Amino acid sequence: MNLIDRISAQFEDNMRTTLEALELLAAPIAGAVELITASLLDNGKVLVCGGSGCAGDARRFAAQLVNGFELERPSLAALALSADTSTLAPLTGEPDAASMFARQIHAFGHPGDILITLSTGADSARIEQAIHAAHERDMHVIALTSGKPGRIAECLGPADIHISPPADRRARIQELHLLTLHCLCDGIDCLLLGVED
């Protein structure tokens, strides 16, 4: 096994997938930037959730909204629903893992807020329940998923945004999710601060 060739193949696959995704995702990402920015300017907040490996990306994105991305600016209202371990399981009875995000949305979500969901798959009971809870709160949803259609996409309403990378490999999906989150941070900062370049 030639490790250099294997590493090169990973880089090349990433570049191909990223360029293919650019054509498909630029418009929905721009729409998501505008939706999030409008909510924040109207005193709304961003709730972010991700299951399993996506939980870390959800926490990081929320932190970048609160603490800043690449430009100095005031803190933005954002909360990662996977960050507070004390709220992730009920205190009594059997834990209901599928409702752990939905419960927090019912507690913290308000009309006009934004829910961002992260899942490298197309089906996730936690994410589906979170989307339903957000709709009950009159929130908009931005769902980052895999490239395959599934139940998450079926939960979305006409005012929601679906960002679905054209990739089958989990690693490529995660890489495109991270790039999307960076584009969201950059776009929000540009709209809020009036940055042109």
pLDDT tens for residues 95-140?
566 788 999 999 999 999 999 999 988 778 899 999 999 999 999 9
Which structural domain range is residue 155 located in? Answer: 23-85+96-193
How many structural domains is the chain composed of?
1
Q: pLDDT for 57-81, tens place per residue?
A: 999 999 999 999 998 999 999 999 9
DSSP readout, 74-137? ----EEETTS-GGGSS-SSSS--GGGHHHHHHHHH--TT-EEEEE-SSS--HHHHHHHHHHHHT
Sheet architecture: strand order including 114-118: 78-80, 46-50, 114-118, 140-144, 161-163
- Does residue 4 belong to any structural domain of this protein? no
Summarised one tens digit per residue, pLDDT across range 169-184 is: 999 999 999 999 999 9
Q: Is residue 17 a part of any domain in this protein?
A: no
Looking up residue 180, the CATH number of its domain turns out to be 3.40.50.10490
Is 9 within the bounds of a domain? no
Q: Report the pLDDT value the prediction gives residue 87, as an integer from 0 to 100.
A: 55
Domain assignment present for residue 11? The answer is: no
Q: Is residue 107 part of a domain?
A: yes
Between 134 and 194, where is the model more confident? Answer: 134
